[in-house]
Amino acid sequence: MPELPEVEVVRRGLERWVAGRTVARAEVLHPRAVRRHVPGAEEFAARLAGRTIGSAERRGKYLWLPLDGSDALLAHLGMSGQLLVAEPGSAPERHLRVRLSFADGGPELRFVDQRTFGHVLVAPLTARLPRWVPEPIAHIAADPFEDSFDDEGFAVGLRRRRTEIKRALLDQSLISGVGNIYADEALWRARLHGTRPTAALTRPKIAELLAAVRAVMTEALAEGGTSFDSLYVNVNGESGYFERSLAVYGRRDQPCRRCGAPVVRESFMNRSSYSCPRCQPLPRAVRRVRA
């Protein structure tokens, strides 16, 4: 699933190609793409026609395009969603779900989703100062690149979770935008195993981990994000190339880039976790349980 860097790459593309333009027509080609828009596909299309789009915004893994008025077009890419710009009249993509054409006759915005786990909807904006965010995601925490993100509040909340550190990093009510890939990469940089109890972390170690989260995401953003297949692309259909810079994720049995020990893969919440057994040793309590 696209994480913060991949979604930010898409946001920047939308800002360039879509902001300031007026929607002429919206077409829903698959009802599942607007399943979260409760009034239905026809109402979704009617709500967009004639509306002017503002600056593209993002929180964590969610994107939205503010509309003139008090609502926004909200998008979540899911596992395979793509927001693409395409010339009017060009061949439709195989999994095209929603298409927006514009009054200026320029490039269309298309929502393409092979697995249809993603979705788009029109939702009211609500105040979560200093920002206005779409109501369906008002409960989501700020992401670590927002000015409103509170490092001290994160540290307090993390220690109160009484859980494992990786589970806490994936908790979108604590910190948004971090997914499986960048959690593993940040934990490697901070030399922490994902099963380390949050309550045992010191304030300096939490600060080191948060710095690692920001650093790895900044580097990924500079390289267009991480693309393991053709499903994640930017608005022009181009893949990112941070995969080649990953330290542990997806590198089972390959040498750790820091110490040379073979990277290990473990099952985690129906997914996979990757770590270095030497740089990120299991906590003693976990080792005793597994012995």
Across the chain, the runs of DSSP E, i.e. the strands, are 23-28, 57-59, 62-66, 71-76, 81-86, 96-102, 108-113, 119-128, 131-134, 264-268, 271-275
Catalytic (active site) residue 25: no
SS3 277: coil
Residue of 47, 61, 97, 189 marked active site: 61
185/85 Cα distance (integer angstroms): 31
Is 251 annotated in some ligand binding site? Answer: no
**DSSP annotation string for 222-276:** HTT---SSTT---TTSPPP-GGGG-SSTT-TTSBPTTT-PBPEEEEETTEEEEE-
Is-contact 9 222, C-beta < 8 A? no
165 alpha carbon, distance to own chain's centre: 19
Residue 2 appears among annotated catalytic residues: yes
Catalytic residue among 16, 160, 252, 271: 271
Residue 161 is assigned to a ligand binding site: yes
257 marked as part of a ligand binding site: no
Quick check: is 196 catalytic? Answer: no
Q: Which of 2, 66, 134, 144 is catalytic?
A: 2
205 in active site: no
Residue with tokens 């915005």: 109
By annotation, the residues acting in catalysis are 2-3, 61, 271
**Which residues define the annotated binding site?**
95, 115, 161
**Which residues define the annotated binding site for DNA?**
95, 115, 161
